[in-house]
Structure 1
């Protein structure tokens, strides 16, 4: 009889624990039908391409869809267009140059998109300004090049972007894992007069991001290391409502296939992250190769009531579907 009582007590405790976990992470009482996702526009407005078969060596400019607009990503006109289409943040890519600038450009090398050659960061900014960054784009296997001749001088410096868009939010992508680049970027940002550091965030290699965080502690940063540390800790302890210190004052990019495994996702998870000054960005699929929510079908997969950020390559398409 005594054993039965003990087993019964254990059973009741387990049921109470399960009930606590369920109620503590349920979104039933937090649903907000008026909540709308915010839009993170990848490189502004850009030419898109099919994601199938993409590798780190793929020249995506050689496989674009038939152009539906005239913008080239990572340029000031493309960012103006993104903000006009109600982007909440624009993501951009940077490379240091040999003359102390930071060029806003995606690729590690120049051959894919431009009429130049070599490693991007092994050039001066003046040399990069002389390139045609629309040179390599083609939608028909090289029969036509619709942007050739239209991209000369369009590669901006990071300073030009940040001074052109005062008080606009940007997510800066560091393309290397060189710690020295983190120091260079910290010094560079600190010497641009009048910029609002609170509007900026950065992500990239573990080493430069660590240095950048040490140099600019008020800047929200993320690397694969900080992301994994946050998510692993949260998966272990988040059922209690506790948010680990590794999840505080940062940014988390949540792949769509990982999101359902996070305690309280979407609403309670989002509220918990907001409470510790962390930005949540939902990315499509497995989060590889800048997969985004880019069309009407993709919008249907965004959880109802989610009001964090979604990564998109087609802010012009998504904004009318979400914001109106």
Structure 2
């Protein structure tokens, strides 16, 4: 019995040693390049995620505003670029007259002074709405942006014309594969090659627009959160054996900041493996097992990003984190700095 236990212990020790050797960052190739920022929705008004449901109106729970920018607007996209975003994520929705609106919500009731589904309105009708009508940070006592958003829901063609050299990450909000064809037609009409522009496409699920757009643009970056999470889970155990799971090859892996420890070979050896497998890496904010993957929104979170990481960093608060990462981009005046400092401290206290 003692001999068996000794042999078992020796075997386990050997396995452990081999796993550590295979995944050791020592002698791993030094990653080339630098971290690239994806500005989720551009520069926009952040909101509380506490008890956030699928249909929660987020415009009624925004943080105290520290800037004037809003999601999915031309101004918000432009500001994200000025603040160092290498890519800007936008949400798309087809309109009643066959155009594509850049708008996040399924319905108009939350953010605007309109009613009903976005898809039941023409682009002209959407243009007539106040896109910032419903925003409030104090439970409806005040609406600081009301009256300022008329005409600010952009048609996709406007975005493509305004940002011909900005990589865009298109987010499909429905499961209708036909929306991929509609988007492809709009890109073709604008003379935009998404592969050459390094655009991307994604949705929550693999079926539907993601599958269709991948067939239309096989060389473009295309992923679903469903598949990316499956890849992350698979690598979480197969990676320790030095393997890259088949479901990760040529796809995307999402790594929450608080799960870096679970990723075998993190960071440099894993980066080398993923680059060899053609897998794109995206770092997101910490998750607690309940929340969906979200973007970084606190400056101290940048300290948890390895200096050698050369993948994509999903950012919710580009207004804060862009200049925090690259101080030369900070153009805020002293008053704006003070307002932002107060807001960041408020967030810290809420999350304690």
Length-normalised TM-score, structure 1 = 0.88
Corresponding residue for 2:334? none
SS in 2 for 1:280: strand
Length-normalised TM-score, structure 2 = 0.82
The 1-side partners of 2:296 and 2:94 are apart by 30
Report the CA distance between 1:59 and its aligned residue: 1.1
Corresponding residue for 2:295? 292
Name the count of aligned residue pairs: 322
Corresponding residue for 1:50? 48
Corresponding residue for 1:119? 117
Q: Are 1:310 and 2:313 an aligned pair?
A: yes
The 1-side partners of 2:223 and 2:171 are apart by 10
- Runs of 4 or more above 4 Å deviation: 6-14, 28-36
Q: 1:203 to 1:160 in 2, by over 3 A?
A: same
Moved more, 196-205 or 169-178: 196-205
The 1-side partners of 2:106 and 2:39 are apart by 21
1:89 paired residue among 71, 87, 97: 87
Structure 1: which 5+ runs fail to align?
none
SS in 2 for 1:82: helix
Corresponding residue for 1:39? 37
Report the CA distance between 1:134 and its aligned residue: 0.7
Q: Deviations over 1:56-77 (max 9, x none)?
A: 1221111111211111110111
Moved more, 36-45 or 253-262: 253-262
- Aligned residues of 1:222 and 1:252 also touching (Cα < 8 A): no
Report the CA distance between 1:33 and its aligned residue: 11
SS in 1 for 2:304: coil
- Aligned residues of 2:72 and 2:91 also touching (Cα < 8 A): yes
Q: 1:194 to 1:216 in 2, by over 3 A?
A: closer
Report the CA distance between 1:317 and its aligned residue: 1.3
2:21 paired residue among 23, 31, 45: 23
Q: 1:298 to 1:225 in 2, by over 3 A?
A: closer
The 1-side partners of 2:33 and 2:178 are apart by 41
Corresponding residue for 1:76? 74
Corresponding residue for 2:179? 181
- Aligned residues of 1:254 and 1:282 also touching (Cα < 8 A): yes
Corresponding residue for 1:206? 206
Q: 1:189 to 1:241 in 2, by over 3 A?
A: farther
The 2-side partners of 1:195 and 1:163 are apart by 13
Corresponding residue for 1:250? 251
Corresponding residue for 2:159? 161
SS in 1 for 2:286: coil
The 1-side partners of 2:47 and 2:156 are apart by 25
Q: 1:264 to 1:92 in 2, by over 3 A?
A: same
The 1-side partners of 2:57 and 2:6 are apart by 64
Corresponding residue for 2:108? 110
Q: 1:197 to 1:158 in 2, by over 3 A?
A: farther
- Aligned residues of 2:229 and 2:254 also touching (Cα < 8 A): no
Corresponding residue for 2:335? none
- Aligned residues of 1:166 and 1:195 also touching (Cα < 8 A): no
Q: 1:140 to 1:8 in 2, by over 3 A?
A: closer
Report the CA distance between 1:90 and its aligned residue: 0.8
1:128 paired residue among 107, 126, 129: 126
SS in 1 for 2:158: helix
The 1-side partners of 2:19 and 2:270 are apart by 14
- Residue pairs, 1:230-249, within 5 angstroms: 230-249=231-250
Report the CA distance between 1:232 and its aligned residue: 3.8
Q: 1:212 to 1:116 in 2, by over 3 A?
A: same
Report the CA distance between 1:83 and its aligned residue: 0.5
